[in-house]
A and B are shown apart, each in its own frame.
Chain A
């Protein structure tokens, strides 16, 4: 079974630009969550999508947005990039509602964004 795939793995942008990151969950998983990982702040929850609907949202400004498609693939977008947006963006998929939920999140390897 293929794991969670994130693209691109690395990217460099300049301040003011926008970026779109993509995540393909494990086949059959309907929930996709996004996290921002930085050395100073650790792992911060951005948002979670389930069946194309945003179910939960973390405490990030409106510049951060996301969406989920009917095939469960998800994208997140950051507009008007700031230096502080430099981070590893991790996507995780899970499949709640299938019997006993153990809460396991399956993570991708992340997209490392550098903002210059």
Chain B
């Protein structure tokens, strides 16, 4: 079946880079996503990558996809306190989205 896994917590210092990792089980996904959830809010799309791409960069965000290992990562450069949130990895299969459990990123001053 389709499953998406993430580590639950990550703590970094302000100004450092953050790397949030995700693994998925079913390689037939067409798109992979990173969503961000701030306290008291819904999820907001940060970025996405097509399954035939290896990397995508968008300002401070870099997404790396290793299809062979079914591994997706999100790197946030120069992490700021405003980046503190829960980050969800998600895979799209046809009409169905499968979300990971979310990684809570804490940014320490």
Question: B87 near A: Cβ within 8 Å?
Answer: no
| Those of A13-64 within 8 Å (CB) of chain B | 33, 35, 41-43, 45, 48, 55-56
Chain B contacts for A102, CB-based, 8 A: 31, 48
B-facing mask of A76-113, CB < 8 A → 1, else 0? Answer: 00000000000000101000100000111111111000
B96 near A45: Cβ-Cβ < 8 Å: yes
B48 near A43: Cβ-Cβ < 8 Å: no
Chain A binding surface, main DSSP class: strand
A45 near B97: Cβ-Cβ < 8 Å: yes
Total cross-chain contacts (CB, 8 A): 52
| Those of B63-109 within 8 Å (CB) of chain A | 88, 92, 95-102
B98 near A104: Cβ-Cβ < 8 Å: no
Tell me whether A104 and B48 are in contact in the complex, defined as CB-CB below 8 angstroms, given that A33-B97, A42-B99, A42-B100 are known contacts: yes
Q: How far is the CA of A106 from the CA of B102 in the complex (A)?
A: 17
Q: CB within 8 A of B45: which of A4, A56, A104, A109?
A: A104
Interchain nearest-CB distance for A6 vs B (Å)? 8
Chain B contacts for A90, CB-based, 8 A: 42-43
Q: CB within 8 A of B98: which of A33, A45, A55, A96?
A: A45
Q: How far is the CA of A110 from the CA of B42 in the complex (A)?
A: 6
Show the binding face of A for B, using Cβ within 8 Å.
4, 33, 35, 41-43, 45, 48, 55-56, 90, 92, 96, 102-110
- 18 CB < 8 A contacts A-B: A42-B99, A43-B43, A45-B96, A45-B97, A45-B98, A48-B95, A90-B43, A92-B43, A103-B48, A104-B45, A105-B35, A105-B45, A106-B45, A107-B43, A107-B44, A108-B42, A109-B40, A109-B42
